[in-house]
A = this chain, B = another copy of it.
Amino acid sequence: VSDVGIVGLGLIGGSLARDLAAAGRRVVATDRSGAAVAQARGKGIVATELDPDEPPPLVVLAVPVRATPDWIRRLAGSTRPDLVVTDTGSTKRSILDAARGAGLDGFVGSHPVAGSHESGWDASRTGLFRGADVWICPGRDSAPGSIDAVERLWRDVGGRPRRIDAGEHDRLLARCSHLPQLVATALGTALSRLGLPPEALGPGGRDTTRLAASDAAMWTDILLDNADEVRPAIEALADALEELDSAITDGDEQRLRALLAGAREWKAGPS
């Protein structure tokens, strides 16, 4: 069984390193933070520092979306011709474009639907990918062997690979992930400005704002990278909010109840 390289030992990369090491794989890794690498080495999770010029056969880029293209270019210049590279980012079109631009034929996009509002090595843990869907976006020129290698990696840590077109992926994620993040951030912003301390929230308000605690730099990247898909999703939300506001302003009981019941039926199924 060959070595696996991991770039970035945050929540995703760190958790992947833990699971792979536990499964007996030799992990070589690097991180902006020498402290994360030192801790991972100290625990025997990472064997040694990854050398980008002489990478192992399979490398996972678990860095923010914006930092990924640089790493793709860096690895495209390595000495290994059969190198397979994947990533873990929440957007896929721009990253596949970068791989094509760099001529990195062995690139296959991945997006494990796992994680939380927490971030960093300290938040990483074993079992993060168990049962999680992992979106797999092959590039136009990806060799079947590269795709297999990447899917096998995710299966080895309990994930469920699902192939999807990059454009479809980015549209889906704008809706199911990026919009909820924005909603939680907008709600947190509004409540903060209204002077409400987060301790004043009940269980419902705490859940609705949970994602507001997510990493700001990571989400800035994702939202700007996927702006063309995120904006129509925001518009759909703003429309729904305005309809609720109008119904409340007009005292339109029937309309308000229909909106509440429609969302309820979507979420909970017919009552």
Q: Which residue of B lies closest to A207 (CB)?
A: B207
Interface hits, A140-194 → B, CB 8 Å: 172, 175-177, 179-194
Partner of A251, one of B177, B183, B227, B237: B227
Are the C-beta atoms of A180 and B192 separated by less than 8 Å?
no
Q: Which residue of B lies closest to A171 (CB)?
A: B194
Q: Is A263 in contact with chain B by the CB < 8 A criterion?
A: yes
Contacts of A259 in B (CB 8 A): 185, 189
Interface hits, A213-243 → B, CB 8 Å: 213-217, 219-220, 223-224, 227, 230-231, 233-243
Contacts of A38 in B (CB 8 A): none
A interface, size bucket? 35 or more
Number of copies: 2
Given contacts A209-B267, A212-B263, A257-B220, contact A187 B193 (CB under 8 A): no
Are the C-beta atoms of B181 and A183 separated by less than 8 Å?
no
Q: Which residue of B lies closest to A187 (CB)?
A: B183
Q: Is A245 in contact with chain B by the CB < 8 A criterion?
A: yes
- Whole-angstrom CA separation of A29 from B178 in the bound complex: 47
Are the C-beta atoms of A266 and B186 separated by less than 8 Å?
no
Q: Is A201 in contact with chain B by the CB < 8 A criterion?
A: yes
Partner of A201, one of B180, B205, B214, B235: B180
16 CB-based A-B contacts, threshold 8 Å = A176-B200, A176-B201, A180-B187, A188-B264, A188-B267, A189-B259, A189-B262, A190-B237, A190-B239, A193-B240, A194-B236, A208-B210, A210-B267, A212-B268, A220-B253, A230-B248
Leading 3 A-B pairs by shortest Cβ distance: A188-B263, A216-B260, A192-B266
